[in-house]
Structure 1
Amino acid sequence: MSSSDFRIERNVELSPETKEIAERELRETPERMREAIERLRELLKENDDLYFSDDDEILTIFLRPCKWYPESALALMRRLAEFRRDNAALLDDLVPEHEEEAFLRHKMANVMKGRDHKGRRVLIVSVGGTWDPKKVSADQLFRLFYLIHVASLLEPESQVRGCVVIMDYKDMGMAQVRAMSPSFSKRLLTFIQDAMPMRLKEVHFVNQPYVFNLVWALFKPFIREKLKNRIFFHGTKMSSLHKHLAPSHLPADYGGELPAIDYSGADWYPALNDAIQHINNWNTYGFRK
């Protein structure tokens, strides 16, 4: 079992403050939840080419980012099914064990132990000099993101408050630039913008060198206005980052008041395995075969 610092906060009742956020931002009330869950169950029966569990937990995962509109949640399910079909070679039957070495021996994907000052999970992606594309391919990097996201969907607090991503490009060189192909860029952005049932609130680029412009040129054509408005560039100016993420909730690595990061994806790996039944179930969702 994972330690208390590295665990998926499943089956946790929303805090009073989070309930207020859910009602204000997501239209979430007990009556609306009941009605939306029942209606989405009916829609799934009518759309029998799709297969998703119809238990409350799974339906809520799709209804919250769609503000409890059942038709929108069904559309999200269909987009996820299309994405899984189009990327079957990468995602079919994917479990943490398949990327165990990348989690345990490499340090590209990490999740902060605590949440930020707004109660959001923070994913730190190190795609600069830390990343050796010869040892971990861009496809594997995407699979790491995907597995982390599937597990995080179990957290009610994260469903409501959303998540933040810090993309750290420190010491990025041409090896990393070459690894980020147009196909990788398009796949990642299609997933984020069309098929991810998690509320992505902000994306922060830090420590990006000049060669980052080559990467940005690949990503930019695929970024829609909604996501574009949530992307922020900081370079090495952590004071700029602090306008969005309070230093009191950031590690020293990013000019914060918390201790420097001394943990990695290896510490989170047991938490992913704790969620293995959910991950296995998730692998069955999509178009009926």
Structure 2
Amino acid sequence: MPPQIRALTPELQQTANEQLHEVPDRLEADLEAFKTWIKQQPHLNSRTDDQFLVAFLRGCKFSLERAKSKLDKYYTLRTKYPDHFNVTTTRGPKFREIHQTGALVYLPTPLNGNGPRIAIWRMGLCPVEKYNILECMQVAQAMQEITILEDDYANVNGIVFIMDMKGATAAHMFQMTPSMAKKFTVFSEEALPLRPKAQHFINTITGFEQVFNIFKPMMSKKMQGRLFVHGSKMGLLTEQVPLQYLSKNYGGENGAIEDIVAAWEKKFDEYEDFFQANATYRTDESLRPGNPIDFEGLFGIEGSFRKLNVD
């Protein structure tokens, strides 16, 4: 039976072949090998639908060993830190309220028409007296999960992330403790199959540099090289993300945020059963082969997520 995945556009298929080492004729065998490994893991209860698993293969450039490790970390961290990473409903009033602020959006047209997906987080639209950082990150997490399943541009070409700090305060930044930042950094780099291609910070506020310099060393050298701080100079951003690919709210042509929010409201309704099922997909550390994971030792500020036993 052929893999149950969407066909890529010819351009995306060429990119997947050349840059991700995807071999369409081998895709069925690659997915079968991945599923066989999952079945052999007594501690791991994972989704096994083709569209979900191919995102991990593409996110790891079709290295099966890396895809195993990434999937294991994905469920390990979601199980251990559900408040951070495991969304089981999108119907909560606060979840919808945060989403309806338009603080977090994925723009409809990818960069340059067929490149990475563009995501924007307008931090100032989530006042700290109303919402805490984890509540906002639950919305971001839910959007990422849908993107893994639906967005071929994000899966093949990655994501360009723009953090707009207009209207934010120091209180926003201090919500993100070093411990929390470490968890999100590790999840983003080592568990999430969506590859971050660039992170742009605009309208940065007083005190941003000091906090940024604490968190930056937690990232891999590769990711550190993809960070761009533009201050209030939109011209520096639009050198890399041309204005036409920003939303109409920024003077661009890439959708109005109000329309994007309305479309995602419907999407969340459609995916509610999917998110409720998240409660059943997890790891059970008591069944993990080999030594148990020392979670306390994993997230020292200087430490990193040690290699999981995924053979």
Give the structure-1-normalised TM-score.
0.86
In structure 2, what is the equivalent of residue 110 of structure 1? 105
Q: Which of the residues 140, 147, 171 maps onto 2:142? A: 147
Q: Which runs of 5+ in 1 are unaligned?
A: 1-9
- 2:105 counterpart SS class: strand
Q: 1:253 to 1:89 in 2, by over 3 A?
A: closer
- 1:14 counterpart SS class: coil
Q: Which runs of 5+ in 2 are unaligned?
A: 286-311
Contact 2:110–2:153, Cα closer than 8 Å, also in 1 = no
Q: C-alpha deviations, 1:121-180, integer Å up to 9, x for none?
A: 21110113x220111101111111111101111123321122211100113322223322
Q: For 1:158 and 1:249, locate their aligned partners in 2 and report how far apart those are by CA, in whole Å.
A: 15
In structure 1, what is the equivalent of residue 81 of structure 2? 87
Segment of structure 1 superposing worse, 214-223 or 232-241: 214-223
- 1:153 counterpart SS class: helix
In structure 2, what is the equivalent of residue 134 of structure 1? 129
Aligned length, in residue pairs:
278
In structure 2, what is the equivalent of residue 220 of structure 1? 216
Q: For 1:254 and 1:228, locate their aligned partners in 2 and report how far apart those are by CA, in whole Å.
A: 26
Q: C-alpha deviations, 1:179-229, integer Å up to 9, x for none?
A: 222233222212211211112211111111232123313422311112112
In structure 1, what is the equivalent of residue 270 of structure 2? 274
Note if 1:161 corresponds to 2:173: no
Q: Which of the residues 16, 19, 34 maps onto 2:10? A: 16
Q: 1:115 to 1:72 in 2, by over 3 A?
A: same
Note if 1:181 corresponds to 2:177: yes
Q: For 1:231 and 1:59, locate their aligned partners in 2 and report how far apart those are by CA, in whole Å.
A: 28
Q: For 1:167 and 1:95, locate their aligned partners in 2 and report how far apart those are by CA, in whole Å.
A: 25
Contact 2:160–2:196, Cα closer than 8 Å, also in 1 = yes
Q: For 1:80 and 1:259, locate their aligned partners in 2 and report how far apart those are by CA, in whole Å.
A: 31
Contact 2:102–2:258, Cα closer than 8 Å, also in 1 = no
In structure 2, what is the equivalent of residue 251 of structure 1? 247
In structure 1, what is the equivalent of residue 296 of structure 2? none
In structure 2, what is the equivalent of residue 285 of structure 1? 281
Amino acid at match of 2:48: D
Note if 1:229 corresponds to 2:243: no
- Matches of residues 41-80 of structure 1 in structure 2 within 5 Å? 41-80=35-74
Q: 1:283 to 1:57 in 2, by over 3 A?
A: farther
Note if 1:124 corresponds to 2:120: yes
Give the structure-2-normalised TM-score.
0.81
Q: 1:259 to 1:72 in 2, by over 3 A?
A: closer
Note if 1:29 corresponds to 2:23: yes
RMSD, matched Cα = 2.4
Amino acid at match of 1:58: F
Amino acid at match of 1:78: D
Query: Which gives a bigger RCO, structure 1 or 2 (Cα 8 Å, sep 6+)?
Result: 1
Amino acid at match of 1:16: P
